[in-house]
Amino acid sequence: MNKYRYLYNTTLSLLSNLLLVMGCFILCRIIFLAENWNAFSDLTARRIWRMFEGGFLFDTSAILYTNLLYIFLMLIPLHYKENIIYQKITKGIFIVTNLIVIIMNLMDTVYFQYTHRRTTASVFSEFKNEGNLGGILGTELLNHWYLTLLAVAFGYALFKLYCKPRVMKVSHLPVYYTVNLIILGVAVYLCVGGMRGGFTGMVRPITISNANKYVDRPIETGIVLNTPFSIYRTLGKKPFIVPQYFDKEKLETIYSPIHLPKDSTQFRPLNVVVFILESFGKENSGFLNEDLDNGTYKGYMPFLDSIMSEGLTFKYSFSNGMKSIDGMPSVLSGIPMFVEPFFLTPASLNTVSSIGGELKKKGYYTAFFHGADNGSMGFEAFARTVGYTNYYGRTEYNEANPGNKDFDGHWGIWDEKFFQFFANALSTFQQPFAAALFSLSSHHPFAVPTEYEGIFPKGNKAIRQCIGYTDNALKLFFEKVSKEPWYKNTLFVFTADHTNSQERPEYETESGLFSVPIVFYQPGTDLKGYRKEVIAQQIDIMPTVLGYLGYDKPYISFGCDLLNTQPEDTYAVNYINGIYQFFKGEYLLHFDGQKSIAMYAFKTDKLLEHNLLGEVAGQQQMEDELKAIIQQYMTCMNNDKLVIK
């Protein structure tokens, strides 16, 4: 038999090496779970085993996709592959390609802490304009040095444990080619089945959403999935597919994103200033957490808390996404994040409006401010597209402050400096104006200017002192602008783009991960109150602002006017790991696109421990409303119907 070993020589080596990679993927999942243990709750050995079983399916698919070239080179029915040079080349291809995807998994071990989902192909568009990634990655390599060492260890293991086929001289070529053709045919069949996740015609290729089959909570899909699979399965995919839940007539009776003005509307030309505060999650607020620590919790943003006490805010308020690029369309244009960030989809080329775009029709001067490099995160392009005529970024700041040393070394201009620049600029604008600012200092790597080290409470998370720093910058901004003649004629709006660095259990749930403050404030008016019965969301900001001003033109927004909607009719929607979330009344519904999978009394069951699916009388009505929102959203995206034409 030994003289015929070449008939299965490379096949056995191939199988051995693919099993080696599988072992690496399993270790990566263990590392991922250990690093992110606090992000998950109630994990039992049985549930973890179930997730690992599901993970085997997704790992198999990813490994086969990654190694298609290597598999072909090892099984190609040519006897030349049995020589030493050919095998050295295939070994090099094997090590390089698999080490790359292993590093992807290790990197996502850290990135997951900010996004709470596995990275998809959209990441390549998300950061394509960022010139600071080298520095950020360098910082992370130092902060997570042990992951860097693990990457080196994985590379060494792939090199040392690689099973090399013996170099053999082939005889009996007809037999060799016949057997190897059969092996190749079997391998093609197995690879197709492995990549698809099954072998029957009834099995559709598995995708990210299939991970929900193995978990009880959407956030847990991060354990089941792996990053290479998530990227492979989203490359070139159309994110928006219109479901046919209802016919057009019934759809319109359930939900429509079109907002029509009342006949009695009287427009008030107030200035509008919107602050989108980086990572200012609700957990940082003392005002919104009056029950924490037996009523002694102070939070980390005392100035914004003081604004809440003087303005209008809401106990149950949510973001519509989990990234900075989700926040801007939600806050300014009333567009939630479903499936993929709006910025990164073909729908971003649609005609889109915004608070600034609508008010521009009324003669407003409009401007958007962000202290990063112009073009960063696609903010400038989006702002101009939706009606903010002028953009003020790091370029404009440097022009106004030549020779300054206000760059934070990572993202852009320190918030305090940029907020003062913002204040100065606003005082030069012709009224009425609509301006928005996106802050940046409360961003990884969570540093503050040297002169502020030790000034603000640090708590248990590095971001806390940054929240305090930006909150103080906001205080200094208001001390400046409160003396301006336009101040009292201005509506101020505050919210966060998303949450970050949660530490309390109630803020690590699928509800808490989206909990952000939403605040409306006009000095010296009766726009006040703490609405504990109202559910609010970022996409409500546009219709609420326009409603408060008495805007008299129709427009599109997927939110509602919080000042003119009954408390029982307000709602919030968001999307996490293949699951749509719908908050309404007392309940939170989880819907996978086809069926409801969970229902929680989120106001009282703060840890979402009791699934009430099938036990709530209004479940079907909630599901129908959510279906209608999804169907309208997908229709508007695919048919370029985000504005009234």
519: helix, strand or coil = strand
What the block records as the tokens of 558 is 């997927």
Tokens 């991060």 label which residue?
222
Q: Give how far Cα 111 sits from Cα of 107, 116, 119, Å.
A: 6, 8, 8
> Average pLDDT for residues 32-47, to the nearest whole number?
88
CA proximity to 512, closest of 317, 331, 329: 317
**Are 461 and 294 within 8 A, CB to CB?**
no
More confident residue, 292 or 432: 432
Closest Cα to residue 467, out of 526, 517, 509? 517
What residue segments make up the domains of the chain, in order of their start?
2-232, 250-368+411-638
Residue 533 has pLDDT above 70, yes or no: yes
DSSP state letter for 206:
P
**Nearest in space to 620 (alpha carbons), one of 642, 599, 592:** 599
Q: Quote the pLDDT of residue 531.
A: 93
Q: Which of 135-144, 405-414, 533-542 has the highest mean pLDDT?
A: 533-542
Distance, CA of 564 to CA of 548 (rounded, Å): 9
Residue 588 reports pLDDT greater than 80:
yes
State phi, psi for 604 to the nearest 5 degrees: -105, -35
Secondary structure element (H or E) that encloses residue 184, with its range: helix 173-196
Q: Which pLDDT belongs to residue 170?
A: 62
Query: What is the identity of the amino acid at 339?
Result: V
H or E segment and range at residue 529: strand 529-537
Distance between CA 196 and CA 205 in Å, rounded? Answer: 4
Q: Judge whether residue 582 has pLDDT over 90.
A: yes
Closest CA to 319 of 609, 87, 517, 614: 517
- The SS3 call for residue 530 is strand
| DSSP label of 567 | G
- CB 516, CB 275: distance < 8 Å: no
Residue 91: alpha-carbon gap to chain centroid: 37
| 497/436 Cα distance (integer angstroms) | 13
Per-residue confidence at 480, pLDDT binned at 50, 70, 90?
A: very high
CB distance 377 to 324 below 8 Å = yes
pLDDT (tens digit per residue) in 281-320: 999 999 999 989 888 999 999 999 999 999 999 999 999 9
Residue in 343, 520, 363, 346 with CA at minimum distance from that of residue 432: 363
What CA–CA distance (Å, rounded) separates 51 from 47?
6
CA distance 561 to 569: 11
**Cβ neighbours of residue 345 closer than 8 Å, sequence gap 6 or more:** 239, 240, 637
- Closest to 51 measured CA to CA, from 167, 218, 191: 218
**CA angle centred on 393, ends 387 and 397, rounded to 5°:** 130
Residue 642 · residue 352 · CB < 8 Å: yes
Give residue 305's pLDDT: 97
For the ranges 176-190, 236-250, 532-546, the maximum mean pLDDT occurs at 532-546
- 271-277/490-496 β-pairing: parallel
- Given pLDDT bands bounded at 50, 70 and 90, which one contains residue 557? very high
Is 338 in a helix, a strand, or coil? coil
Going by C-alpha positions, the residue among 577, 506, 507 that lies closest to residue 222 is 577
The overall average pLDDT reported for the chain is 90
Pairing status of strand 312-318 against strand 529-537: parallel
91 or 135: which leads in pLDDT: 91
Which range (227-231, 340-344, 381-385, 619-623) has the least confidence? 340-344
Residue 399 has pLDDT above 90, yes or no: yes
Least confident of 41-50, 272-281, 415-424, 451-460: 41-50
Whether the bond between 445 and the residue before it is cis, its omega within 30 degrees of 0, is yes
**Tokens, residue 515:** 């909990």
CA distance 445 to 462: 8
Output the pLDDT for position 600: 97
Contacts of 376 (CB under 8 A, 6+ apart): 129, 130, 370, 393, 411, 412
Give, in order, the Cα–Cα distances in Å from 628 to each of 89, 176, 342.
Answer: 55, 60, 19
Using CA atoms, how far apart are residues 472 and 301, in angstroms rounded to an integer? Answer: 8
If one compares 622 and 411, the residue with the highest pLDDT of the two is 622
pLDDT band, very low/low/confident/very high, at 546 (cuts 50, 70, 90): very high
User: What's the predicted TM-score (pTM) here?
Assistant: 0.79
Q: Quote the pLDDT of residue 1.
A: 44
CB-CB contact of 312 with 529 (8 Å): yes
- 202, pLDDT greater than 50: no
DSSP secondary structure of 256-306:
--EE---TT------EEEEEEETT--GGGBSGGGTTGGGGT--BS-HHHHH
* DSSP H helices in 67-83: 68-75
Q: Per the structure block, which two tokens stand in for 628? A: 């209608």
State residue 126's pLDDT score: 56
Instruction: Indicate the pLDDT class of residue 130, thresholds 50, 70 and 90.
Output: low
Residues making up the annotated binding site for Mn(2+) are: 278, 497-498
Q: What percent of the chain has pLDDT over 70?
A: 93
The rounded percent of the chain whose pLDDT value lies above 90 is 66
Of residues 244 and 239, more confidently modeled: 244
Choose, from 324, 511, 515, 596, the residue flagged as catalytic. 324
Query: Annotated catalytic, 324?
Result: yes
Q: Pick the closest to residue 231 from 53, 104, 52, 337 (CA basis).
A: 104
Q: How confident is the model at residue 523 (pLDDT cuts 50, 70, 90)?
A: very high
What is the length of the chain? 645
Residues in the annotated binding site: 278, 443, 497-498
Q: How confident is the model at residue 481 (pLDDT cuts 50, 70, 90)?
A: very high
Domain 250-368+411-638: assigned CATH number: 3.40.720.10
Mean pLDDT value across residues 138-149: 78
Query: What residue numbers does the annotated binding site for substrate cover?
Result: 443
Instruction: State mean pLDDT over 145-169.
Output: 89
Helices 9-35 and 68-75, interaxial angle, to 10°?
160
Contacts of 191 (CB under 8 A, 6+ apart): 64, 68, 71
- List the structure tokens of 380: 């400038």
For residue 596, what are the β-bridge partners? 591
CA distance 53 to 69: 27
Q: Which amino acid would we find at residue 266? A: Q
Count of H-run helices and E-run strands, the chain? 20, 14
